[in-house]
Amino acid sequence: MATAKEELSAVVHELGLDKQNKATIGRLLAHGGLGYAEEGSDGRMRAQVRIPPDELMWDPSVLVMPHEGDLEIEIFNDDGNTHCALFPSNGDNQFIWLPNQSRGTASLNLDGPGYYWFSSPIGNDEGRGLLGAIVVQGDAPPEARLDRPDQPRP
Amino acid sequence: MATEYLDAGQAVGQASLSGVVGSAPPVAQNVTYERILEARSEPQNWLTYYGAYDGQRYSPLDQINTENVKRLSPAWVFQAGTGGMHAGQSTYSFEAAPIVVDGVMYLSGWDGWVWALDARTGQELWRYKHAIPYDVSLCCGNVNRGVAVAKGKVFVVTLNAHVIALDAQTGELVWDKTYGDVRAGESATVAPLVVKNLVIVGSSGGEFGVRGHLDAFDLDTGEHAWRRYMVPKPGEPGSETWPAEGEAWARGGGNCWVTGTYDPELNLLYWGTGNPAPDFDGEVREGDNLYTCCVVAVDPDNGEIRWHYQYNPHDLWDYDSNMENILFELDGRKLLAHFDKNGYFFVLDRTNGELVRVAPFVDRITWGEIDADGKVTPKVYPEKEGEPVHFWPGPAGGKEWTHAAYSPRTGLFYVPVQDVGVEVTRRRREFKESIPYWGAAVVVHSGTREQENMAGSVSAFDPSTGEEVWRWRNELPMCASVLATGGDLVFAGEPTGEFNAFDARTGEHLWHFQCGSGHHSSPTTYSVDGRQYVAVPVGWGAWTEGFIPAMLGAPAGDALFVFALPE
């Protein structure tokens, strides 16, 4: 039976797809809440993500940047197990080891609209649910866009 | 009670957790325009995408030759692998042409990877990773065709339509410019070309109804020098070949996703342009649709088009003409040769675009006919809504983007040939920005290899007659670039992983090595300390559904193989 898109979150929750070891073994990806990065007076964006106890997820698992640029992330591992984080960033991916009850930071640069995955690349943390998305809003700069009238979008 | 957190510190670059050295010798500092002009005079290097501006993909190196090639063995292998989730996870492919400067190799991979390697040992000297959005629009896989090197910098485009300059010693970013709109379906895959003090790049995205363009940037600063659209606006020259009403021109395609060639005496770039959009529904874009499916002769100083030759007027078969236009001389004439997707081999006078000769180079051509004067007569094409038509070659063409080679020693062109057909059913669709805009259902001959009616070859052609001189037949289409050398050898990889060497004069198959994954890249050759190497990126993928669906299940790969004679 098909489910309307607006009901999806409720059905995912009802089935337990947003929990560990309910409907599936792990947790459906990117179902750990949504948060926004905040822009400081220096133009850099800042955000926090956490790994809550026994949930094997990022909170938030969808982190929204209002535009391209530099992002400072503060990462907390509140879980009773050790994880790590691998973030996308121009220049090189950024890696940090996250022992239980630890706090670290990462500096990222993402230069355009779209979404980028981040994860804990050990064991199968990614498959269990420790896979989140950084969403970068905004548009290509005006000088890069096509010289044509505005076109219809989906 | 507040948690007392252990300090996990600051995240570090992933390369710091590897054997990467972190820096390369400053060999690229002295790579100037003047050196690239004379690239073939330093055969130890492969300084630019095609090896030289003429696009011949020929190296005078002759240490490896027809007598000793049977002893060719792997010298080293570089493997990149993949980590985390990346765009086009099922379609990434290793398509680059390795650049080599005085013992250092500069190489790009899929998904924003760039590496500097010790060309003698394969040791990773530095790496750069551009963060690519997972949701970027890619018609044909997560790929990149290579880098350019000059004045101490490495230039590369990214899938999210940036062109960047890296410090050739450290891999650190020097400048970064956006030249396309990912929200419009644009991306970038081309290997940049350095001419004078400019780095020249084209856009990808023709399958999404964009307006193709070529851009030039200042090498030192990244300042934008010029942009040339390949579909004119109303009122501009060529606009009469598009419908006067509506916005077909604004979605007309004509992208420049393969590197051009350059004649410094004429000061002309020869750049191929892609198919018009929508690919198969010509009724919405009546006319010849200039400058799609053309070679355009472009002044690199200002981007102006000096002349053009349209290989496929009003294309209805997805026959991009992006593929290389190889510069050569014959009987004192300055000519260029082009093997088009439409199955014909063209020779043009490169001073003015005049047709000198045209001849078929693949066995089955049913879409239409081109006579000796260049007159095009379409015969089979998607015309009626919902009615399937079948034609050869399919949309991957008699030859795909992968390149032919020319040996001045033999005077022959060596071509990777694909003989695959397709069934296309016109299905008109409304244009929406960022959504594929083909105007048809497309089924390239699919099924298992046993069920297929397809073939391939490496074929040698004489440009003075247009005749085939020899052919090495393969049961699968050949879809990797060919390399010709002064040892009278021709190298070409197969979709099933074999890397082959042939006698350039006879086509005799002399050597092969199984690389474990299919070839869809451009091998190059160089030498270090007097030892000749042949380098070939190996990694099957990209738009396999377009050129050999019967190989969609073949092993993926991510390795660079480098071969040499035993010491």
- Are the C-beta atoms of B93 and B542 separated by less than 8 Å? yes
> Which tokens is B54 given?
């003429």
CB contact at 8 A, B211 and B249: yes
Residue at B521 is within a domain: yes
Contacts of A108 in chain B (CB under 8 A): 131
* Residues whose CB is less than 8 angstroms from the CB of residue B236 and which lie 6 or more positions away in sequence, other chains included: none
Looking at the domain assignment, is residue A154 inside a domain?
Answer: no
Task: State the average pLDDT over residues B56-85.
Answer: 95
The tens digit of pLDDT for each residue in B283-303 reads: 999 999 999 999 999 999 999
The long-range contacts involving B232-241, CB below 8 angstroms and separated by at least 24 positions, are B232/B290, B232/B291, B233/A147, B237/B305, B238/B290, B238/B291, B240/B287, B241/B287, B241/B288, B241/B289, B241/B290
Q: What CATH number does the domain containing A93 carry?
A: 2.60.40.420
Q: Give the one of A101, A133, A145 whose C-beta lies nearest to B3's C-beta.
A: A101
Q: What is the pLDDT of residue A4?
A: 60
The reply to whether B22 falls in a domain is no
Confidence of residue B81 (pLDDT cuts 50, 70, 90): confident
A14-25 pLDDT, tens digit each: 888 888 888 888
CA dist list (Å): B226 to A52, B3, B9, B270: 52, 57, 45, 16
ipTM comes to 0.94
From the number of C-beta atoms within 10 Å of its C-beta (0-12, 13-18, 19+), residue A145 rates as middle
Q: Where does residue A43 rank: exposed (0-12), middle (13-18), buried (19+ CB within 10 A)?
A: exposed
Query: What is residue A46's predicted lDDT score, i.e. its pLDDT?
Result: 98
pLDDT at B31 over 80: yes
Taking the C-alpha atoms of B420, B519, B475 and B449 in order, what is their torsion angle to the nearest 10 degrees?
A: -70
In the prediction, which pLDDT does A3 show? 56
Q: B450 CB near a chain A CB, below 8 Å?
A: no
**C-beta of residue B219 within 8 angstroms of C-beta of residue B166:** no
B3 within domain boundaries: no
Query: What single string gives the DSSP state of each residue in B425-476?
Result: EE------TTS----EEEEES-S-GGG---EEEEEEE-TTT--EEEEEEESS
Q: Per DSSP, what are the bridge partners of residue B531?
A: B528
For chain B, percent of residues with pLDDT exceeding 70: 99
A104: closest CA of chain B, how far (Å):
5
Domain span including residue A114: 15-139
Interface residue B565 vs chain A (CB under 8 A)? no
Element (H, E) at B514: strand B509-514
Q: Is the pLDDT of residue B487 over 80?
A: yes
Question: Is B111 noted as a catalytic residue in this protein?
Answer: no
Q: Is B38 within a domain? A: yes
Asked if the structure places residue B6 within a domain, the reply is no
Q: Are A123 and A56 in contact (CB under 8 A)?
A: no
Question: What percent of chain B lies above the pLDDT cut of 90?
Answer: 95
CA separation (Å) from B481 to A78, B79, B160, B490?
Answer: 52, 20, 25, 10
Q: Provide the pLDDT for residue A22.
A: 86
Record the tokens describing residue A56, joined without a space.
């094997």
In this predicted model, what pLDDT tens digit does every residue of A36-88 receive, in sequence order?
999 999 999 999 999 999 999 999 999 999 999 999 999 999 999 999 999 99
Cα distance between residue B62 and residue B69, in whole Å: 10
The number of domains in chain A is: 1
* Residues of chain B found within 8 Å of residue A100, distances taken between Cβ atoms: 6
SS3 category, B490: strand
- Distance, in Å, from the CA atom of A117 to the CA atom of A68, rounded to the nearest integer, reads 15
Cβ separation A97–B3 shorter than 8 A = no
Q: What Rg value do the Cα atoms of chain B yield, rounded?
A: 22
- Cis (ω within 30 of 0) for the bond into B291? yes
Q: Where are the beta strands (DSSP E) in A5-151?
A: 34-36, 38-39, 45-51, 62-65, 69-77, 83-87, 94-98, 102-110, 114-119, 131-136
- Let me know: does A50 contact B8? Beta carbons within 8 Å: no
Put simply, whether B182 touches A (Cβ < 8 Å) is yes
Check pLDDT > 90 for residue A30. Answer: no
Chain B residues 234-273 with a CB less than 8 Å from chain A: 247, 250-251
Selection from B279, B205, B268 nearest residue B55 by Cα: B268
Is-contact B364 B419, C-beta < 8 A?
yes
B12 and chain A: CB distance < 8 Å anywhere?
yes
Residues of B in contact with A113 (CB under 8 A): 133, 182-183
**pLDDT grade for B94, boundaries at 50, 70 and 90:** very high
Query: Each residue of A106-144: pLDDT tens digit?
Result: 999 999 999 999 999 999 999 999 999 999 999 999 999
**Type and span of the H or E element at B546:** helix B544-547
How many domains are contained in chain B?
1
Domain assignment of residue A153, yes or no: no
- For residue B83, name the pLDDT band (cuts at 50, 70, 90): confident
Tokens of B182: 């990912």
B475 φ/ψ angles, rounded to the nearest 5 degrees? -75, -20
Q: Which residues fall within 8 angstroms of residue B120, CB to CB, at 6 or more apart?
A: B103, B528, B529, B531, B533
Contact A147 B211 (CB under 8 A): yes
Q: Within a domain: residue A9?
A: no
* SS3 at position B103: coil
pLDDT tier for residue A34 given thresholds of 50, 70 and 90: very high
Residue A31 corresponds to which tokens in the numbers above?
A: 């179902």
Q: Chains A and B: how many Cβ contacts under 8 Å? A: 178
Distance between CA atoms of residues B136 and A149, nearest Å: 22
- pLDDT beyond 90 at A29: no
More confident residue, B453 or B421: B421
Query: Has residue B5 been placed in a domain?
Result: no
B312 touches B342 (CB < 8 A): yes
Concatenated DSSP letters of B122-189: --EEEEEE----TT---SS-S-----EEETTEEEEE-TTSEEEEEETTT--EEEEEE-S-GGGT-B--
Burial A55-84 (b: 16+ CB within 10 A, else e): bbbbbbbbbbbeebbbbebebbbbbeebbb
Is B12 part of any domain? no
In a domain, B378, yes or no: yes
CA-CA distance, B534 to B505, in Å (whole number)?
20
Q: Which of B118, B167, B315, B318 is catalytic?
A: B318
* CATH code of B311's domain: 2.140.10.10
Of the candidates A92, A99, A104, the beta carbon closest to that of B14 is on: A92
pLDDT of A2 higher than 60? no
| Cβ–Cβ contact A112 with B under 8 A | yes
Q: What is the pLDDT of residues B500-522, one digit of tens each?
A: 999 999 999 999 999 999 999 99
Query: What gap in Å lies between CA B475 and CA B496, rounded to an integer?
Result: 11
Which residue segment(s) compose the domain that B127 sits in? Answer: 30-564
Q: Is B21 exposed, middle or buried (0-12, 13-18, 19+ CB in 10 A)?
A: middle
What is the gyration radius of the CA atoms in chain A, in angstroms?
Answer: 17
Mean pLDDT across chain B, nearest whole number?
96
How many CA atoms are closer than 13 Å to the CA of B507, on its beta-carbon side? 17
Pairwise pLDDT comparison (B450 vs B139), residue with the higher score: B139
pLDDT(B450) > 70: no
Contacts with A75 from chain B: Cβ below 8 Å:
8
Per-residue pLDDT of B387-441, as tens digits, reads 999 999 999 999 999 999 999 999 999 999 999 999 999 999 999 999 999 999 9
Cβ neighbours of A135 in B, within 8 Å: none
